[in-house]
């Protein structure tokens, strides 16, 4: 039996996922290995070294973005009434939750370090230019589409198009 799940957020306080099918689907998504990995990815790169309190993770950020998006969806729904499209709102909410799945360690600082390393390697190997690197947005897309060795989501395309949770 489904039950309400809660996450205590330092900025948003209590974020709840109720017993409804969509919220339970989102909770299962949060429980995936890909999403849980975000607990170990720094939101602010190396800022923590200078500002010891800057310990925000991509996990907390993604939960907060989802919460804010859900509040915005509620506001829009109340303002536009019958024109509101719940299906599109759910797709947007799922996307807000998974938008950072592809970030590497130390976030954007990691991307810059890899870019410099590849540029240096290309120069040493006599190549005309460094190979084109994937940015976190492309990694996120690959994870959602199941196009990585680590992707474990059973049907990620259906996840974003809301078909998966509706069929269960």
Residue from 61, 67, 99, 136 carrying the catalytic annotation:
136
User: Is the full-model pTM beyond 0.95?
Assistant: no
**How many whole angstroms separate alpha carbon 103 and alpha carbon 108?**
8
Question: Selecting from 2.70.70.10, 1.10.3210.10, 1.10.760.10, 1.10.290.10, what CATH number does the domain 5-167 have?
Answer: 1.10.3210.10
47 Cβ neighbours under 8 A, 6+ residues apart: 54
What 3-state class would DSSP assign to 118?
helix
Residue numbers of the chain with a pLDDT score lower than 70:
1, 106-122, 124, 128-168
CA distances from 144 to 60, 82, 101 (A): 19, 31, 8
Q: What's the pLDDT score for residue 154? A: 46
Q: Quick check: is 136 catalytic?
A: yes
Q: What's the pLDDT score for residue 52? A: 86
Contacts 24+ apart (CB under 8 A), 67-76: 67/9, 67/12, 67/15, 68/12, 68/96, 69/93, 69/96, 70/96
Q: What's the pLDDT score for residue 114? A: 64
Q: Where are the domains of the chain?
A: 5-167
């Amino acid at each position: 039996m489904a039950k309400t799940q809660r996450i205590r957020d330092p900025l948003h306080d209590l974020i709840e996922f109720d017993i409804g099918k969509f919220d339970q689907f989102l909770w299962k998504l949060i429980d995936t290995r890909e999403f849980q990995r975000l607990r170990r990815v720094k939101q602010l790169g190396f800022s923590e070294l200078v500002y010891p309190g800057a310990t925000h993770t991509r996990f907390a950020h993604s939960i907060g973005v989802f919460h804010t998006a859900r509040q915005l969806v509620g506001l829009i729904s109340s303002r536009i009434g019958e024109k509101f499209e719940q299906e599109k709102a759910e797709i947007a909410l799922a996307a807000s939750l998974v938008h950072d799945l592809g970030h590497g360690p130390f976030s954007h600082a990691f991307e810059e370090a890899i870019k410099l390393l590849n540029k240096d390697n290309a120069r040493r190997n006599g190549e005309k230019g460094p190979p084109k690197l994937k940015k976190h947005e492309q990694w996120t897309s690959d994870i959602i589409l199941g196009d990585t060795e680590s992707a474990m989501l059973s049907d990620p395309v259906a996840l974003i198009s809301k078909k998966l949770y509706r069929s269960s």
